[in-house]
């Protein structure tokens, strides 16, 4: 039996890798369908996603019926053999994957925030089209294009979130934390953990292993708060003083910037820490942060609103959010993440 994993990020690859190792799956039976992501380990059968492989207009027109041509793409990769699918969420290409005639079963694995929400709303279960209104005075062009591209009403009606699939017989939900997949029955949850002696995990951590250190994760997550960056920068200033007072920051801080930042000389987090005479070291851009948490011990991890803080807690570190120091706050997705504010200390001025 072939096993097909859809991946698009460091975290989704790490969880796929851990599932493969825990289930002791044979490399020859594994297919990784990667969406604009470079797999950091060799030895896997990796294929670009259908969308990535057919991203030019002439290709889109030639393969207008997306489900039909994606089926052909899958069948060619898999030699028309049966397979089991592992997905994070039910995007359009995952819908096609799990309804392929050769898909024998499918399972979910966590990919971050979405696996930790305690309840869904209408926006969640229709997320890929959440910017559209539920009522249109005229036919929406995007909806018409979807239908023209072969997405029939039955395929489109498959919900986005994992919770809609809880009662399917045999389905499993793989995660690092018991807080993930809050609504899934306990007998369908599978907790996975990496092997402490796995050299690949250390490699994916950039060959860093930190003990009793402070790690600061950059990022305001303004997409959740909708607040100007000024509130984030002010909170960093306040957090430095709070963490010094708590004797958490003493001399050095390891900084993990947002992915893709190469020139950090003008990064505000870096500048503020340097202004406060804190010795910093910027961690490699291409490391998998969660792997660093796995191989390190007893660290203090500081951030704002990010699932990485939850993973820091899961792997045994003390996690802090500076969101409590924002001069202005809004309700965010994280307020309904299972256990988030229980596991993470929300800093305040006192």
Angle made by CA atoms 170, 176, 181, in degrees to the nearest 5 = 50
Q: Of 127, 158, 193, at which residue does a domain stop?
A: 193
Q: 60 and 166 share a domain?
A: yes
pLDDT (mean) for 130-146 = 77
Secondary structure, 3-state, 129-174: HCCCCCCCCCCCHHHHHHHHCCCCHHHHCCCCCHHHHCCCCCCCEE
- Count of domains for the chain: 2
Q: State the Cα–Cα distance between residues 118 and 321, nearest whole angstrom.
A: 20
Q: 65 and 141 share a domain?
A: yes
Q: 166 and 260 share a domain?
A: no
Range of the domain at 308: 201-346
Q: 322 and 218 share a domain?
A: yes
Percent of the chain exceeding pLDDT 90 equals 70
Q: 164 and 245 share a domain?
A: no
Q: Of 168, 193, 218, at which residue does a domain stop?
A: 193
Mean pLDDT of the chain: 91
pLDDT (mean) for 251-274 = 88
CATH of the domain at 30: 3.40.50
Q: 23 and 125 share a domain?
A: yes
Q: State the Cα–Cα distance between residues 234 and 217, nearest whole angstrom.
A: 16
Over residues 156-214, the pLDDT tens digits come to 999 999 999 999 999 999 999 888 998 899 999 999 988 878 999 999 999 999 999 99
Q: 225 and 181 share a domain?
A: no
Q: 292 and 152 share a domain?
A: no
Q: 133 and 257 share a domain?
A: no
Q: Of 141, 168, 193, at which residue does a domain stop?
A: 193
Owner of token pair 């039976």 = 29
Is the CB of residue 36 less than 8 Å from the CB of residue 10?
no
């Amino acid at each position: 039996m072939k096993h097909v994993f859809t991946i698009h990020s460091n975290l989704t690859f790490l969880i796929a890798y851990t599932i493969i190792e825990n289930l002791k799956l044979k490399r020859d039976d594994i297919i990784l369908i990667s969406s604009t992501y470079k797999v950091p380990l060799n030895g896997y059968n990796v294929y670009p996603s259908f969308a990535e492989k057919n991203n030019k207009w002439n290709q889109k027109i030639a393969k207008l019926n997306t489900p039909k041509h994606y089926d052909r793409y899958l069948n060619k990769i898999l030699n028309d053999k049966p397979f089991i699918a592992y997905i994070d969420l039910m995007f359009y290409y995952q819908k096609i994957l799990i309804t392929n005639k050769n898909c024998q079963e499918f399972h979910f694995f966590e990919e971050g925030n979405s696996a930790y929400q305690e309840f869904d709303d209408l926006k969640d279960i229709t997320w890929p089209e959440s910017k559209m209104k539920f009522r249109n005075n005229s036919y929406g062009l995007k909806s018409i294009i979807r239908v023209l591209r072969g997405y029939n009403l039955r395929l489109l009606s498959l919900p986005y979130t994992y919770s809609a699939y809880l009662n399917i017989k045999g389905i499993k939900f793989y995660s690092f934390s018991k807080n993930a997949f809050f609504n899934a029955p306990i007998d369908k949850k599978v907790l996975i953990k990496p092997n402490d002696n796995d050299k690949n995990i250390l490699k994916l951590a950039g060959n860093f292993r930190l003990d009793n250190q402070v790690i600061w994760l950059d990022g305001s997550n303004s997409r959740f708060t909708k607040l100007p960056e000024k509130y984030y920068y002010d909170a960093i200033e306040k957090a430095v003083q709070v963490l010094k007072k708590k004797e958490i920051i003493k001399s050095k801080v390891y900084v993990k910037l947002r992915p893709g930042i190469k020139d950090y000389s003008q990064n505000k987090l870096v500048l503020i820490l340097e202004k406060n005479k804190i010795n910093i070291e910027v961690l490699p851009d291409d490391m998998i942060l969660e792997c660093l948490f796995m191989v390190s011990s007893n660290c203090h991890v500081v951030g704002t609103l990010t699932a990485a803080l939850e993973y820091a807690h899961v792997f045994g570190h003390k996690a802090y959010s500076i969101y409590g120091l924002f001069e202005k706050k809004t309700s965010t997705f994280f307020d309904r993440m299972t256990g988030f504010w229980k596991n993470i200390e929300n800093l305040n001025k006192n």
